[in-house]
Amino acid sequence: MSTGARRVAARVAAAVVMATALCATAHQRLAAGTLQPAGTSPAVSAAPSPGGGSATGPGTSPSPGSGTGSGAGAAVVARVAGARETVVSRRAVVAEGAAGRRTVDCRRVKCVALTFDDGPGPYTGELLRHLAAHQARATFFVVGQNVAAHPSVLRRAAAAGHEIGNHTWSHQDLTKLSAGAVRAELARADRAVKAATGFVPALVRPPYGAFDNAVRTGIRRPLVLWSVDTLDWLHRDSARVARVAIRSARPGGVILFHDIHPTTVRAVPRVLKALSRRGYTFVTVSELFGGPPPRLVYTGDAPPRH
Ligand SMILES: [Zn+2]
C-alpha cells in the first residue's frame, strides 16, 4: 500500500493514551452549519470491509461496543490491536492494518475530503497517481455509464483505498424523475460499480446536488453534497481551481471537483501540496465521519448547478 513505507513503530498502549487524552473537537466543529457529526460513532474505525475494498464504506464499518469521548478512544484502540501506527504529518496519526487498510481519527487530526464527480474518465488514472504520491484518499462519485466504460480504473481506485459513491447511472436530475426511475438510476449504477469493484456504494451524491423530500426519503443511503464547490466545470483553469480549493479548505470540509476535466486533474498536485503543508490529511467521506455519515451531508445553501 502507499503508506507502507512510512510506518513508524508505535505501541498500541501509547495510542490508548493519545486517543483518550484527545477529544472530539474536530467533530464538534463539524457540527457547525448543516454538517452533523456521525452520532455516537467514533472517529476511528478499524473494522475491515469484507473483501478489502472501500466501496461499501460505512456500511461495513460497524463499531460494536464503541461509545463517545474517551470511551470511544479506548474502544477504538482495542479494535486496532495489532495495527501499525503511521505518522504522516506532525498532526496526523493514521493506523494502518495488516491489509493496508487504515484508520484516521478526524477528531484528532485536520481532515479534508476531496471528492471527484462524474467519472471515471480518461484522466482518472492520472488523478490516482497524484493522490498516491501524497498518500491521499478521496471519494469518487461515479456515473454508472462511465463505470461501465472504464471499469478497470475504478477497480484500481477502490483497491487504492478510495471510496466509491453512487452518482446515478446517467446523471439526471432526480427531482424530475418518478420514484421508480430514481430507484432504477441508482440500482443500475450500483450494479456497474459492483461489477467493477465487487462492492455496492454506501453513499449517494445526487446529480446537480438536486434533491427534494421525495428523493431524500426514497434513498436510504446518506446523500453527500459538499461544503466547497470549486466550480471547476465552469472555469477550466487549473490555477483557479487550485486556488479556490486551497483558500476554501477547512477541517471537516468536503470539496467538490470533477475528474472528467483535465484542468481539474492538473490542479490536484498543487492542492495536495499546499494543504499537506497546512497539516491536512486527505480522507474519504466515510473516514471523515469515522463511519456512516449522517443522512445529509453539507446540504447547506442551494448548491450551484453543474
Ligand atoms: Zn455530477
Instruction: Provide the pLDDT for residue 230.
Output: 96
72-102 confidence digits (pLDDT tens): 222 222 222 233 333 233 233 444 443 446 7
CA of 209 to the centre of ligand 1 (A): 8
Cα 117 to averaged position of ligand 1 atoms, centre (Å) = 5
Contact 129, 114 (CB under 8 A): no
Query: Do 128 and 253 share a domain, yes or no?
Result: yes
**Has residue 184 got a pLDDT over 50?**
yes
Q: Given this model, what pLDDT does residue 101 score?
A: 63
Domain-embedded: residue 139? yes
Residue 303 lies in a domain: no
Ligand 1 centroid distance, CA of 169 (Å): 11
Residues whose beta carbons lie less than 5 angstroms from ion ligand 1: 117-118, 207
83 and 140 housed in the same domain: no
Q: How far is the CA of 175 from the centre of ligand 1 (A)?
A: 14
Is residue 203 one of the residues assigned to a domain? yes
Output the CA 201–ligand 1 centroid distance in Å. 16
Q: Which CATH number covers residue 190? A: 3.20.20.370
Q: What percent of the chain has pLDDT over 90?
A: 60
Query: Does 88 lie in the same domain as 8?
Result: yes
Name the more confident of 171 and 38: 171
116 CA → ligand 1 middle, Å: 9
What is the model's pLDDT at position 194?
A: 98
State how many domains the chain has: 2
Residue 166 resides in a domain: yes
Give pLDDT, residue 8: 33
Measured in angstroms, how far is the CA atom of residue 251 from the centroid of ligand 1? 24
105 CA distance to ligand 1 middle (Å) = 29
Of the residues 55, 79, 108, the one at which a domain ends = 108
Residues 290 and 149 in one domain: yes
Instruction: Identify the domain containing residue 51 by its residue range.
Output: 4-108
- Asked if 244 and 288 sit in the same domain, the reply is yes
Q: Is residue 302 part of a domain?
A: no
Mean pLDDT of 285-306: 72
Q: Are residues 116 and 262 in the same domain?
A: yes
Is residue 218 located within the same domain as residue 71?
no
Residue with cell 463517545: 68
**287 and 154 housed in the same domain:** yes
Domain end residue (candidates: 87, 108, 129) = 108
**What pTM, to 2 d.p., does this model score?**
0.70
The CA distance from 208 to 303, in Å, is 8
Q: Which of 73, 108, 143 corresponds to the end of one domain?
A: 108
Q: What is the pLDDT of residues 20-66, one digit of tens each?
A: 222 223 333 333 333 333 332 333 333 333 333 334 333 333 332 22
Cell of 86: 503511521
- Length of the chain equals 306
Active-site pick, 117, 118, 229, 259: 117
| Distance from Cα 260 to the centre of ligand 1, integer Å | 10
258 is catalytic: yes
Q: Is 232 a catalytic residue?
A: no
Q: Do the domain assignments include residue 253?
A: yes
Q: Does one domain contain both 244 and 121?
A: yes
Average pLDDT over residues 177-183: 98
Average per-residue pLDDT in the chain? Answer: 74
Question: Do 117 and 67 share a structural domain?
Answer: no
- Among residues 27, 130, 171, 258, the one annotated as catalytic is 258
User: Looking at the structure, do residues 136 and 225 belong to the same domain, yes or no?
Assistant: yes
Residues 100 and 140 in one domain: no
* Angle at CA of residue 286, ends 249 and 165, nearest 5°: 95
Average pLDDT estimate for 174-193: 98
